[in-house]
Structure 1
Amino acid sequence: MLLHAVDVGDGPRTVVLLHGMMGSADSWWRMMPVLAAQGFRVLAIDLPGHGLSPRDPRLTIEQAASSVVETVRSLAPGRPLAAVGHSYGASVLAQAAPLLRPEPGIYVDAALVLPGGSDRDDLIERYARDREARQSPENLRASRPFYSEKDAEIEALAARRFDPTTMASVSCGRDHMWLPDPGSIIVRADPSDWVTAADVARFAANGIDVRSIPGAAHTVWYSHFGEFTASLPELFGRRARAQRAG
Structure 2
Amino acid sequence: MRLHTTTWGSGDRIALLVHGIMSDHRTWRRVGPALAERGYRVIAVDLRGHGRSGRAAGPEEYGPDDYADDLVENLPVGAELAVGHSLGGLVLARALERLKPDRAVYSDPAWHLGEGPDGYRAELFVRGKSMTREQIRGFNPHWSDEDLDTEMASVRDWDERSAYGLVDFVGADLWPARAGVPSLVALADPSMLVSPASARMLEGRGFTVRTVAKSGHTIHRDDFDGFMSALSDWI
Aligned-residue offset at 1:173:
5.3
The secondary structure found in structure 2 opposite 1:190 is coil
Is the Cα–Cα contact under 8 Å of residues 49 and 55 in structure 1 kept in the other structure?
A: yes
Whole-angstrom CA distance in 1 between matches of 2:113 and 2:126: 20
Whole-angstrom CA distance in 1 between matches of 2:139 and 2:133: 10
**Counterpart among 67, 70, 76 of residue 67 in structure 1:** 70
Pairwise mapping of residues 216-235 of structure 1 onto structure 2 (< 5 A)?
216-235=215-234
Residue 167 of structure 2 is aligned to residue 157 of structure 1: no
Q: CA 1:218/1:124 → structure 2, altered by over 3 Å: closer, same or farther? A: closer
Is the Cα–Cα contact under 8 Å of residues 9 and 36 in structure 1 kept in the other structure?
A: yes
Residue 9 of structure 2 is aligned to residue 9 of structure 1: yes
Q: Which has more radius of gyration? A: 1
- For residues 208-242 of structure 1, give each alpha carbon's deviation from its aligned partner in whole angstroms, at most 9, with x where no partner exists: 10011111111111111111111112455xxxxxx
Q: CA 1:71/1:204 → structure 2, altered by over 3 Å: closer, same or farther? A: same
Whole-angstrom CA distance in 1 between matches of 2:65 and 2:190: 30
Matched positions, count: 225
Residue 170 of structure 2 is aligned to residue 192 of structure 1: no
Q: CA 1:182/1:3 → structure 2, altered by over 3 Å: closer, same or farther? A: closer
Pairwise mapping of residues 127-206 of structure 1 onto structure 2 (< 5 A)?
127-133=125-131, 136-172=132-168, 175-179=172-176, 180-181=179-180, 183-206=182-205
- TM-score w.r.t. the length of structure 1 is 0.84
Q: CA 1:111/1:61 → structure 2, altered by over 3 Å: closer, same or farther? A: closer
> Which 4+ stretches in 1 moved above 4 angstroms?
none
Whole-angstrom CA distance in 1 between matches of 2:167 and 2:94: 14
Q: CA 1:125/1:190 → structure 2, altered by over 3 Å: closer, same or farther? A: closer
Aligned-residue offset at 1:182:
5.6
Whole-angstrom CA distance in 2 between matches of 1:211 and 1:124: 29
- For residues 80-121 of structure 1, give each alpha carbon's deviation from its aligned partner in whole angstroms, at most 9, with x where no partner exists: 3311001111000011101012221110112523469xxxxx
Aligned-residue offset at 1:55:
1.2
Partner of 2:207: 208
The secondary structure found in structure 2 opposite 1:152 is helix
The secondary structure found in structure 2 opposite 1:177 is coil
- TM-score w.r.t. the length of structure 2 is 0.88
Pairwise mapping of residues 40-119 of structure 1 onto structure 2 (< 5 A)?
40-56=40-56, 57=58, 58-59=60-61, 60-73=63-76, 80-110=79-109, 112-114=111-113
Gaps of 5+ in 1: 117-122, 237-246
Is the Cα–Cα contact under 8 Å of residues 3 and 48 in structure 2 kept in the other structure?
A: yes
Report the residue type matching 2:152 in the other structure.
A
Aligned-residue offset at 1:124:
5.6
Percent of aligned positions with the same letter in both sequences?
32
Partner of 1:240: none
Report the residue type matching 1:42 in the other structure.
V
Is the Cα–Cα contact under 8 Å of residues 112 and 194 in structure 2 kept in the other structure?
A: no
Aligned-residue offset at 1:148:
0.6
Report the residue type matching 1:178 in the other structure.
W
